[in-house]
Amino acid sequence: MSEKGWGYRGICKESGKNVREEEAYDYALAEVKSAKDEELTKDFIEFAISLIDNGEEDHKKEMVDWFFSGNWLHEEIEESEFE
């Protein structure tokens, strides 16, 4: 029997990408900081960078929820499917 873990499965333009739940914040932060995508607004990029600079924990869930709200499904994924 294969093992599963909770994570985010990319759909549409994110198809083929799977991110473990425990790695979701770091993944989202890296993507936002290196964004060339117009959908990631300047305001949110500044907000994300301020989270890093201030070491704030309170907004991590908000950032993960925002980042993965579009082309991602939160579901159980086979361990072998994670990047």
What pLDDT was estimated at residue 61? 84
Question: What is the value of pTM for the model shown?
Answer: 0.75
pLDDT one-digit tens code per residue, 23-72: 999 998 888 777 776 666 676 777 767 777 777 666 788 889 888 988 99
**Is pLDDT of 12 > 70?**
yes
What pLDDT was estimated at residue 71? 94
Pairing mode, strands 4-10 and 72-78:
antiparallel
50 contacts 60 by C-beta, under 8 angstroms: no
pLDDT grade, residue 73 (50/70/90)?
Answer: very high
Give the C-alpha distances (Å, rounded to integers) separating 48 from 51, 64, 76: 5, 11, 27
